[in-house]
Amino acid sequence: MGIQLQGFFDDRAAEGLAHVGDVPVLGTLRELPNYVKNCAIDMIYLALPFRAEMKMREIAHKTKETRASLFLVPDIFIFSLLNPSQNISYQSMFWLFRAIIASANEA
Global pTM reads 0.67
Which residues, in sequence order, are CB contacts of 68 under 8 Å at separation 6+?
A: 36, 41, 42, 43, 44
Which pairs with CB-CB distance under 8 Å and at least 24 residues apart come from 52-61? 55/29, 59/29, 59/32, 59/33
Burial of 41 (0-12, 13-18, 19+ CB in 10 A): middle
As beta bridge partners, residue 8 has 25
How far CA 60 is from CA of 19, 30, 87, 100, in Å, comes to 24, 12, 30, 23
* Tens place of pLDDT per residue across the chain (107 aa): 577 888 888 887 667 767 767 888 898 899 999 999 999 899 998 888 878 888 989 999 999 889 899 888 777 666 566 665 655 555 666 666 666 666 666 65
Measured distance CA(61)–CA(58) in Å, rounded: 5
